[in-house]
């Protein structure tokens, strides 16, 4: 069905080419419908003045304030040598603070006439500093004449909508453009089924659009937001429900383990009992594997909760049933680590076809891009003949020449590190679609799992296996208290003296040219110091506070054989301190390592710090994580580090992480490379709406998968799922 013509009308026809061009280039708005869905960020009350006291530096702001005084100065300059230059300085106030507006040259005449003391207006411009005072230079402004007919029409009474704006297009100009297209809102087709809308007491869509743009009361805003949040949650969940439904229509080979086969033999070998959580999650996976359509399951687990064990048992169940299982790891270090630990855990059961292999044994093969030609040929042959039941590899598994005999299960470790196309290519190597298990050690809040991973069923491992030790975490303020950093190196020496090992993590390798454009935050800019580097820090430590200890480096640009050799030496206890980049973030398992020092910890995200910290405390001795930073105590970076130090709960940290990032990252660029569709829905705050929308969507799709009886919903779905997003969901 075509989009509703009135809402599909190009803005060029309605607003003129100049305005339409700015809206398209700077705000991504192309049609009347796009503009109607560009909602106000907040509202100003006519009687309430904006807080000038905490204006952000270097940002484009819109404020409502009153002129306190205005002064015209003359001055001499190169352009006006006889003192004919003019500068108008206007001070505005809102009760909380004051700021100066500055106008120069011919630009002074209009504001000099209009901005008289007592005048109220909306001002828009970029906040800068001159003579240590905040100012807005040449701001755009709109007078607020409370009794004028035009102002009442334009701003609809008491509440002034403030829109997400740009330097090229102020909030009130967007407001006037919306005033022009607002009558078209009456023709908006409602995507919500009548029964759902009525059952939840939600206002119709045309009314919601009117109330969000032209509210008369705060209750109008609440009504509109409640309704529009439901639209976003429901349409998205319908898209995901349709994909889940389509997956149930695909055929897959059911894979059931043999009662006395490879899996049973492996379980008999285990020197420990599985946790309650591992048994429960394994049960969910085995139930999925036994069905005739592909499993799509997300396995989330805290760092060290035993996800690899659960995945290995699923892989062995598939081998039992005559299939092959592939595990895709994001780095060669991790692929080699998984291969080593799986072969160790399986013992004789990993020696299929070899002398000493037991009756149920299979072959466990490693395939990475850097393998020698002979080893690679052997591995490819084992996969093609079915000799290898289990293969662990990097993206090398995806290459065209890799053929499987009967691929039954794909396990993807650390899902967020793979492109959609890579996962899709591996899934395409089965004769029928293989079952899919996605693992992540980055805890994902439930609502994010329901949106970003909404087409996957979710299992959570939140219990740590017996024998895991607690990890103490502390922030080390290197600039404020240098003696704390000296003490950190003493602690490393103490741990090594007790027979343990340590990691030191840095954000940068140190053999690259520093590109000033790559600095990540204003705080980086402020201190003008590139991030600390592995090669520099390793040299400093070996010559200074850690001299006489065995210090080695590990980073992503080392040749693969060198990386593997370094990891083997560290795992064998031949290295005391490993200075590394985040290449050790995921999956590296050295139980004897008890302390980690993270340099420039403020340069890492919350979830990344939690991941890194999970590399220590993996044995019987307690772990210690020291977060070194030079950031000032009051800044947001320190607050983030304090939050990490305060809790080991990854789910709590992932909420903090999400609250600090822009909401759009959740669904938009971070996941699919396209602009986020969420405008009023907040995945953390609106958990209840998302959960209810998921249930409603599942019921609607079960009853009418093609949505033939709901044309409005189909229209909204087409608008949400442009071609790029549709492909992202399909490949999942």
Residue 41 has pLDDT above 90, yes or no: no
Q: Which H or E run includes 103?
A: strand 98-104
Mean pLDDT of the chain: 81
pLDDT of res. 670: 35
- Share of residues in the chain with pLDDT > 70 (%): 82
pLDDT of res. 575: 94
Q: Which of 341-345, 605-609, 654-658 has the highest mean pLDDT?
A: 341-345
**pLDDT band for position 47 (50/70/90)?**
very low
Residue 300 half-sphere exposure, CB side, CA atoms within 13 Å?
19
- Residue 206 CB: number of other CB atoms within 10 A? 17
Residue 77 has pLDDT above 80, yes or no: no
Contact 364, 354 (CB under 8 A): no
Q: What is the mean pLDDT of residues 162-188?
A: 85
**pLDDT band for position 520 (50/70/90)?**
very low
Tell me the pLDDT tens digit for each residue of 387-396: 999 999 988 8
| pTM of the predicted model over 0.75 | no
What DSSP string describes 260-296? Answer: TSHHHHHHHH-SSPPPHHHHHHHHHHHHHHTSSS--E
CA distance 477 to 475: 6
- Residue 490 CB: number of other CB atoms within 10 A? 11
Q: Which H or E run includes 75?
A: strand 60-75
pLDDT of res. 676: 46
Q: Of 62 and 697, which is predicted with more confidence?
A: 697
Sheet with 435-440: strands ordered across: 363-367, 388-393, 324-328, 407-413, 435-440, 296-301, 457-461
| CA angle centred on 293, ends 288 and 298, rounded to 5° | 45
Tell me the pLDDT tens digit for each residue of 416-466: 555 556 666 767 777 788 898 988 877 677 667 776 666 678 888 876 666
CA distance 27 to 21: 10
CA distance 716 to 192: 9
Q: Of 87 and 353, which is predicted with more confidence?
A: 87
pLDDT of res. 364: 94
pLDDT of res. 26: 85
350: which DSSP letter?
A: G
**pLDDT band for position 341 (50/70/90)?**
confident
């Amino acid at each position: 069905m075509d989009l509703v013509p009135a809402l599909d009308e190009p803005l060029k026809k309605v607003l003129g080419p100049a305005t339409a061009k700015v809206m398209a280039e700077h705000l991504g708005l192309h049609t009347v419908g796009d503009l109607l869905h560009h909602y106000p960020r907040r509202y100003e009350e006519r009687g309430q003045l904006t807080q000038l006291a905490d204006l952000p530096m270097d940002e484009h702001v819109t404020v409502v304030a009153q002129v306190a005084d205005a002064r015209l100065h003359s001055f001499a300059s190169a352009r006006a040598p006889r003192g004919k230059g003019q500068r108008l300085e206007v001070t505005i106030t809102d009760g909380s603070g004051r700021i100066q507006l500055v106008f120069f040259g011919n630009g002074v005449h209009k504001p000099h006439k209009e901005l008289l003391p007592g005048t109220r207006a909306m001002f828009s411009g970029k906040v800068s500093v001159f003579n240590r005072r905040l100012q807005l230079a040449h701001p755009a402004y709109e007078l607020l004449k409370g009794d004028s007919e035009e102002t009442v029409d334009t701003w609809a009474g008491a509440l002034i909508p403030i829109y997400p704006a740009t330097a090229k297009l102020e909030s009130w100009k967007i407001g006037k453009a919306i005033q022009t297209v607002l009558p078209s809102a009456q023709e908006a087709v409602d995507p919500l089924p009548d029964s759902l809308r009525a059952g939840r007491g939600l206002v119709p869509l045309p009314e919601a659009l009117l109330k969000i743009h032209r509210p008369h009361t705060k209750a109008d805003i609440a009504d509109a937001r409640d309704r529009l949040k439901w639209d976003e949650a429901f349409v998205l969940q319908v898209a995901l429900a349709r994909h889940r439904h389509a997956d149930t229509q695909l055929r897959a080979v059911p894979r059931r383990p043999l009662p006395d086969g490879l899996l049973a033999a492996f379980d008999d070998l285990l020197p420990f009992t599985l946790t309650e959580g591992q048994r429960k999650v394994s049960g969910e996976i085995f139930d999925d594997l036994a069905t005739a359509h592909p499993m799509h399951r997300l396995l989330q687990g805290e760092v060290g909760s035993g996800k690899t064990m659960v995945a290995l048992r699923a892989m062995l169940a598939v081998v039992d049933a005559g299939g092959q299982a592939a595990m895709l790891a994001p780095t060669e270090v991790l692929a080699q680590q998984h291969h080593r630990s799986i072969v160790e855990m399986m013992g004789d059961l990993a020696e299929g076809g070899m002398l000493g292999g037991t009756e149920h044994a299979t072959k466990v093969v490693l395939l990475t891009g850097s393998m020698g030609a002979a080893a690679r040929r052997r591995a490819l042959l084992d996969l093609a003949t079915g000799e290898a039941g289990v293969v662990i590899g990097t993206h090398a598994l995806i290459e065209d020449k890799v053929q499987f005999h009967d691929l039954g299960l794909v396990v993807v470790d650390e899902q967020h590190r793979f492109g959609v196309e890579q996962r899709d290519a591996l899934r395409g190597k089965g004769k029928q679609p293989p079952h899919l298990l996605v693992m992540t050690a980055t805890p994902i809040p439930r609502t994010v799992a329901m949106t970003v991973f909404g087409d996957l069923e979710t299992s959570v491992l939140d219990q740590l296996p017996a024998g895991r030790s607690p990890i103490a975490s502390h922030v080390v303020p290197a600039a404020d208290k240098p003696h704390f950093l000296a003490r950190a190196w003493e602690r490393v020496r103490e741990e090594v003296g007790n027979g343990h090992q340590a990691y030191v993590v840095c954000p940068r390798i140190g053999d690259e040219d520093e590109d000033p454009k790559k600095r990540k935050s204003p705080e980086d800019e402020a201190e003008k110091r590139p991030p600390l580097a592995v090669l520099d820090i390793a040299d400093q430590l070996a010559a200074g506070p850690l001299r006489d200890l065995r210090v080695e480096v590990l980073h992503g640009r080392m040749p693969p054989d060198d990386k593997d050799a370094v990891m083997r030496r560290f795992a064998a206890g031949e290295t005391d301190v490993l200075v590394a980049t985040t290449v050790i973030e995921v999956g590296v398992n050295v139980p004897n390592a008890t302390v980690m020092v993270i340099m420039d910890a403020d340069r890492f995200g919350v979830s990344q710090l939690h991941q890194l910290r999970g590399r220590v405390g993996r044995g019987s001795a307690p772990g210690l994580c020291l977060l070194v930073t030079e950031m000032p105590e009051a800044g947001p970076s320190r607050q983030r580090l304090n939050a990490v130090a305060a809790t080991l709960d990854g789910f709590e940290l992932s909420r903090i992480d999400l609250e600090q990032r822009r909401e759009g990252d959740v669904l938009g660029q971070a996941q699919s490379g396209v602009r986020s569709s969420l405008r009023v829905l907040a995945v953390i705050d609106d958990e209840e709406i998302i959960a209810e929308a998921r249930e409603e969507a599942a019921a609607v799709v079960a009853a009418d998968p093609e949505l033939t009886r709901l044309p409005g919903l189909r229209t909204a779905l087409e608008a949400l799922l442009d071609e790029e997003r549709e492909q992202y969901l399909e490949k999942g």
